[in-house]
Structure 1
Amino acid sequence: MEIGDKRIKVKTTKKHFGVFKAEANKWIRNFGLTDWNVCFSHTKLEGIKARCEYNLVGRVATLSLSTTYTDSIIDYDIESAFHEVCELLIIPLESMIEQRYALGVDDVREETHRIIRRLENFILKEDLN
């Protein structure tokens, strides 16, 4: 819900957190990110609505929804969950680029195509149904 330029303090509830988790789990399945061990947290985050923390080597991540945030848009769960799962989708590629001196172009290209295949598997599968 858009409330104009006015910024308000929003408090999220257990219900909002439940929607956040359900939406995140939906996109984890849709994007085929089931090789990640994902935990969820509902805690106060300074200055942000949600966060994705991860250990790439262990394929472990924590997606967190803030108990409070200040914004002009009240979208405490669905869009934030989608955004954090998209980060989880892109993190391996981002990490490879950051380590570009240790990795070859082929590694980055392989991860790029892994991401594309995940998107194809979801988007094209949906279009065919």
Structure 2
Amino acid sequence: MTAPDDAVLRRVRNLWETVSGAAVTFPPPGSPAAVVTSSGSGLCPPGWVGIVALGRSAIVTAPDTAVARTLRQAFSTLPADALTCAGPVRSVLPVAEVLGPATLAYVTDDAFRPVPYEGGVERLSAEHPA
């Protein structure tokens, strides 16, 4: 029988693999990241590198084959959890800009317990202050 955490991890990995826009799967934990070319990746803005690390495993999307080749070489010695930290990535690549990391939490339907919220929703203006 599969543990609930394993089932959630499998579902979440499948989601991120689909969002990557490429034929990619998370490698076994502890393996080098799976790096693929995906100019239409949903993991990141166009032209950027997208990285998702889950359970000691990571997938990486690159905007073109040359960048993918560079990433495979650079990331071959870094553990998956280091790929979402700017310091270790900067130690192997010249990084111009970083968005994230984002920390997400996933839970099974039966374990989710919503917290009652009576407040309103704060709306932010799309305009930037001058």
Q: TM-score, normalised by structure 1?
A: 0.28
Bigger relative contact order, structure 1 or 2 (CA pairs below 8 A, ≥6 apart):
1
More strand by share: 1
More helix by share: 1
Q: TM-score, normalised by structure 2?
A: 0.28
Q: From the CA coordinates, give the structure whose radius of gyration is larger.
A: 2
